[in-house]
Structure 1
Amino acid sequence: MEIKKVAILGAGAVGSYVIEGISGCMEIRLGVIAEGERNARLKSAGCTINGVTYHPEVWTSQETDNIDLLIVSLKYGALPTALDTIKQATRQNTIVMSLMNGVDSEEIIGAKIGMSHILPALIKVASHKEPDGYHFDRKSTIGIIFGEYKSPFQSERVKAVCDLFEKSDISYRVTDYIREEIWSKFRLNVCNNLPQAILGAGVGCYRDSVHMKAISEGLRSEIEAIAAAKGIEFSKIESSAKGSPVMPSARYSTLQDLDAKRHTEIDMFSGVLMRMGKELGIPTPYNEYTYHMIKALEEKNDGLFDYKGKDETPTYSK
């Protein structure tokens, strides 16, 4: 098996890391899947990453024939409407790798195209958007971690992806414990991404505030209880259970979304844990509070609480 054609669905922060990493592989045909105005914009302007503009091919969903590796790097909310595009791009031997946050994107995609296409994976990259495009520090980036759910772990498609990444500038690691790795990143996101989004401060807040540390630990206890009930053994990968190093002022993706007045991926984080908790009979009060607080902050960004100058009916405190 040899990978010769790679498609990326979602050319945002994560997709940009892959585009930059593979663009130097002259023997690989690299393209981004996009429709309509976004398709035209990418063809015209390309993707600016770390100050350099790249021009991968840009394909519509109807132009995605003979793709060997499809990398899905969408925001969670965009996944349901992209499933038909993913199906269109998936042929008999296509490998599909989801680099989305969360723990259920593989199942959602697999239900549409068949789990046999899924090579489970995650990415650890601390990236952010500036006026001139996406930026990240390649030297400190852990990169892509992937592997088969079960033996044989050194499968032909794992070897093919390794061969591709060896030719590229992508940092990677193969694991025999991909479920634990995915849940470990999920734990990092829930415990470190969400509380700082509500506070509106850099990640140094967990170091400097016992109160923020307590909230983070409360979220952690809930996710670990749910993971244990699902047979996830974090002890198998504790030596690798960390993210990319960042400065105390760093603002993770949920806070970046709120800063930009975008809706967040809270449904994929606390929303999923609330659902799993109900299914398993495990209380999730920290996640329930976090979920509703971030939803309320989204409503605030949408202008729901902008009462100034409006004709309004008096309200009374109780």
Structure 2
Amino acid sequence: MAKVAIVGCGAMGSVYAALMVDAGHEVHAVTLWPDHAAAMDKNGLRCEGKSGDRTVPIHGTTTTDGIGICDLVIVATKAFDVEAAAKSCALLIGQHTVVQTIQNGLGSPEIAATVIDPDRIAIGVVGGFGASMRGPGHVHHNGMEMIRFGAFAGLPTQALQASAKIWESAGFKVALFTDVKQMVWEKLIMNVTFSGSCCTTGLTIGEVMADPDAWRVARGCAEEAIAVAMASGITLDVGDPIEHIRKLGGKIPDARPSMLLDWNAKRRCEIDAINGSIPRLGKPLGVPTPVNDTVVGIVKARERAMLLQG
């Protein structure tokens, strides 16, 4: 049994937490949502979907106070909350603790490494879940497609493998990568395709792929990301990248990416870390990114209006 803290126990974090508790691990669920923490404490955490339907007893909390040293710390917050989350992890990290950052987009491990010893950090990417909150203490997910980890800096291979075994014991299929740029970008092209396009249209992944106009925008976002990856010397070992994206998307047609879920819940989204990363990297490389530029502009304008309204 391992001691695990999940810092940022929203939809995705709650899926991780429920399955790890079910596997016999001691899991502490840290969330900024007081009603979610209270519901988990009182009634347990219900997780339904691809992995089945279970309700597990778990300690939900809004702070890391009193948890103590953990074997594994999973930072599963939104990208813009990573710095604060990393600072809150100080008392959770011991000599042998592995800290896994799992965010969409680019830049989060680098932010965490300004606070946490880089040699304790593993970069993680997940995909094909389509997780959403059904209510406090209740999460649903559409799939369990991709779990990948790699060392950010000098994390020993043995420690990385030990952390992977915790996930595997909970039913996740894990792949370890030495080329972390490849690992991150193979997920990023999927995020870039559907995050902005679903958020701006309100459509599910399957609906975007089925609608010619929506797919033209989504595919344009993908093609620009692929072009930036090629210009950056990034390896994408996925065959035809567009067919790869369509295949993965076809496995979770009813899923709504987290960016759309955040918009529906009137929360700030991660457009800068996802679609926004493509123009940011493409400009110095001379790679034009007009589709992503447009999608980012639309999402940010809508978001500003929404946040101003309350």
TM interval, short-chain normalised:
0.7 to 0.9
Cα deviation 1:50-78 (Å, max 9, x = unaligned): 25433323463332422111111111232
Q: Kindly indicate whether the alpha-carbon contact (under 8 Å) linking 1:180 and 1:237 is maintained by their aligned counterparts in 2.
A: no
Number of equivalences: 298
Which of 129, 134, 147 matches 1:130? 134
Given residue 289 of structure 1, which amino acid in structure 2 is its aligned partner?
T
In structure 1, the partner of 2:85 is: 82
Alignment gaps of 5+ in structure 1: 307-318
Q: Kindly indicate whether the alpha-carbon contact (under 8 Å) linking 2:100 and 2:123 is maintained by their aligned counterparts in 1.
A: yes
Given residue 17 of structure 1, which amino acid in structure 2 is its aligned partner?
V
Given residue 135 of structure 1, which amino acid in structure 2 is its aligned partner?
H
Using the TM superposition, name which of 281-290 and 56-65 deviates more: 56-65
Which of 178, 181, 185 matches 1:179? 181
Given residue 264 of structure 1, which amino acid in structure 2 is its aligned partner?
C
In structure 1, the partner of 2:27 is: 30
Q: Kindly indicate whether the alpha-carbon contact (under 8 Å) linking 2:197 and 2:208 is maintained by their aligned counterparts in 1.
A: no
In structure 2, the partner of 1:311 is: none
In structure 2, the partner of 1:263 is: 268
Q: Kindly indicate whether the alpha-carbon contact (under 8 Å) linking 2:46 and 2:55 is maintained by their aligned counterparts in 1.
A: yes
Cα deviation 1:152-204 (Å, max 9, x = unaligned): 9x921133123323432223233344321211111111112211221122223
1:66 & 1:44 partners in 2: Cα distance?
24
SS of 2:162's partner is helix
Matches within 5 A, 1:188-199: 188-199=190-201
Given residue 224 of structure 1, which amino acid in structure 2 is its aligned partner?
I
**Structure having the higher Rg:** 1
Given residue 18 of structure 1, which amino acid in structure 2 is its aligned partner?
Y
- The alpha-carbon deviation at position 135 of structure 1 amounts to 0.7
SS of 1:146's partner is strand
1:86 & 1:237 partners in 2: Cα distance?
35
Which of 28, 42, 53 matches 1:44? 42
Alignment gaps of 5+ in structure 2: none
Cα deviation 1:106-160 (Å, max 9, x = unaligned): 11111221321111221121222224721124xx4114212346899x9211331
SS of 2:276's partner is helix
1:232 & 1:78 partners in 2: Cα distance?
27
Given residue 263 of structure 1, which amino acid in structure 2 is its aligned partner?
R
In structure 2, the partner of 1:314 is: none
SS of 1:62's partner is coil
Q: Kindly indicate whether the alpha-carbon contact (under 8 Å) linking 2:124 and 2:150 is maintained by their aligned counterparts in 1.
A: yes
Cα deviation 1:70-119 (Å, max 9, x = unaligned): 11111123223223113342233211111211122111111221321111
In structure 2, the partner of 1:219 is: 221
In structure 2, the partner of 1:71 is: 74
Given residue 141 of structure 2, which amino acid in structure 1 is its aligned partner?
F
Which of 5, 10, 27 matches 2:3? 5
In structure 2, the partner of 1:254 is: 259
Q: Kindly indicate whether the alpha-carbon contact (under 8 Å) linking 1:34 and 1:61 is maintained by their aligned counterparts in 2.
A: no
Q: Kindly indicate whether the alpha-carbon contact (under 8 Å) linking 2:130 and 2:252 is maintained by their aligned counterparts in 1.
A: no
2:272 & 2:188 partners in 1: Cα distance?
13
Q: Kindly indicate whether the alpha-carbon contact (under 8 Å) linking 1:142 and 1:244 is maintained by their aligned counterparts in 2.
A: no
Which of 93, 96, 99 matches 2:96? 93
SS of 2:140's partner is strand
Q: Kindly indicate whether the alpha-carbon contact (under 8 Å) linking 1:149 and 1:179 is maintained by their aligned counterparts in 2.
A: no
1:41 & 1:7 partners in 2: Cα distance?
18
Q: Kindly indicate whether the alpha-carbon contact (under 8 Å) linking 2:98 and 2:120 is maintained by their aligned counterparts in 1.
A: yes
Confirm whether residue 290 of structure 1 aligns to residue 295 of structure 2.
Answer: yes
1:151 & 1:300 partners in 2: Cα distance?
43
Q: Kindly indicate whether the alpha-carbon contact (under 8 Å) linking 1:147 and 1:174 is maintained by their aligned counterparts in 2.
A: yes
Q: Kindly indicate whether the alpha-carbon contact (under 8 Å) linking 2:8 and 2:32 is maintained by their aligned counterparts in 1.
A: no
In structure 2, the partner of 1:315 is: none
Given residue 79 of structure 2, which amino acid in structure 1 is its aligned partner?
Y
Given residue 68 of structure 1, which amino acid in structure 2 is its aligned partner?
D
1:13 & 1:141 partners in 2: Cα distance?
13
**Normalized against structure 1, the TM-score is what?**
0.81
**Normalized against structure 2, the TM-score is what?**
0.83
